[in-house]
Amino acid sequence: MAEIVNLRRARKQKARTEAGKQAEQNRIAFGRSKAERNLTEAERAKAERHIEGHRLSRDDAPEKA
Protein backbone atom coordinates (compact mmCIF):
# COMPACT_ATOMS: atom_id res chain seq x y z
CA MET A 1 0.00 0.00 0.00
CA ALA A 2 1.01 3.61 -0.54
CA GLU A 3 1.99 5.86 2.32
CA ILE A 4 -0.72 8.28 3.37
CA VAL A 5 0.48 11.89 3.23
CA ASN A 6 -1.18 14.76 5.02
CA LEU A 7 -1.13 17.51 2.38
CA ARG A 8 -1.41 20.31 4.91
CA ARG A 9 1.69 19.07 6.75
CA ALA A 10 3.54 18.57 3.46
CA ARG A 11 2.79 22.15 2.37
CA LYS A 12 3.89 23.53 5.73
CA GLN A 13 7.10 21.50 5.65
CA LYS A 14 7.86 22.71 2.12
CA ALA A 15 7.25 26.33 3.20
CA ARG A 16 9.59 25.87 6.20
CA THR A 17 12.29 24.43 3.97
CA GLU A 18 12.04 27.32 1.50
CA ALA A 19 12.04 29.87 4.33
CA GLY A 20 15.14 28.22 5.75
CA LYS A 21 16.92 28.49 2.40
CA GLN A 22 16.00 32.17 2.14
CA ALA A 23 17.18 32.80 5.70
CA GLU A 24 20.53 31.16 4.91
CA GLN A 25 20.98 33.41 1.88
CA ASN A 26 20.11 36.48 3.98
CA ARG A 27 22.60 35.47 6.67
CA ILE A 28 25.32 35.25 4.03
CA ALA A 29 24.38 38.56 2.41
CA PHE A 30 23.56 40.69 5.47
CA GLY A 31 24.84 38.84 8.51
CA ARG A 32 28.10 40.65 9.02
CA SER A 33 29.12 42.11 12.35
CA LYS A 34 29.68 45.81 12.82
CA ALA A 35 33.44 45.21 13.03
CA GLU A 36 33.41 43.39 9.68
CA ARG A 37 31.40 46.21 8.07
CA ASN A 38 33.82 48.82 9.48
CA LEU A 39 36.83 46.83 8.28
CA THR A 40 35.40 46.55 4.76
CA GLU A 41 34.65 50.27 4.70
CA ALA A 42 38.16 51.12 5.92
CA GLU A 43 39.75 48.89 3.27
CA ARG A 44 37.62 50.50 0.56
CA ALA A 45 38.54 54.02 1.74
CA LYS A 46 42.24 53.14 1.89
CA ALA A 47 42.17 51.72 -1.64
CA GLU A 48 40.38 54.85 -2.88
CA ARG A 49 42.98 57.13 -1.25
CA HIS A 50 45.79 55.02 -2.69
CA ILE A 51 44.42 55.25 -6.22
CA GLU A 52 43.66 58.96 -5.85
CA GLY A 53 47.21 59.59 -4.60
CA HIS A 54 48.70 58.00 -7.71
CA ARG A 55 46.55 59.92 -10.17
CA LEU A 56 48.69 61.68 -12.79
CA SER A 57 46.57 64.79 -13.21
CA ARG A 58 44.65 66.31 -10.34
CA ASP A 59 41.68 68.61 -10.64
CA ASP A 60 42.88 70.87 -7.82
CA ALA A 61 46.37 71.51 -9.30
CA PRO A 62 46.73 74.35 -11.84
CA GLU A 63 47.37 73.10 -15.34
CA LYS A 64 50.39 74.29 -17.26
CA ALA A 65 49.60 76.03 -20.53
Q: What is the pLDDT of residue 63?
A: 61
Is residue 62 very low, low, confident or very high in pLDDT (cuts 50, 70, 90)? low
Is residue 61 very low, low, confident or very high in pLDDT (cuts 50, 70, 90)? low
Domain ranges in the chain?
9-53
Q: What is the pLDDT of residue 32?
A: 87
Query: SS3 of 58, please?
Result: coil
The rounded distance, in Å, linking the Cα atoms of 49 and 45 is 6
Q: Which has the higher per-residue pLDDT, 15 or 2?
A: 15
Q: Which has the higher per-residue pLDDT, 54 or 20?
A: 20
Query: SS3 of 17, please?
Result: helix
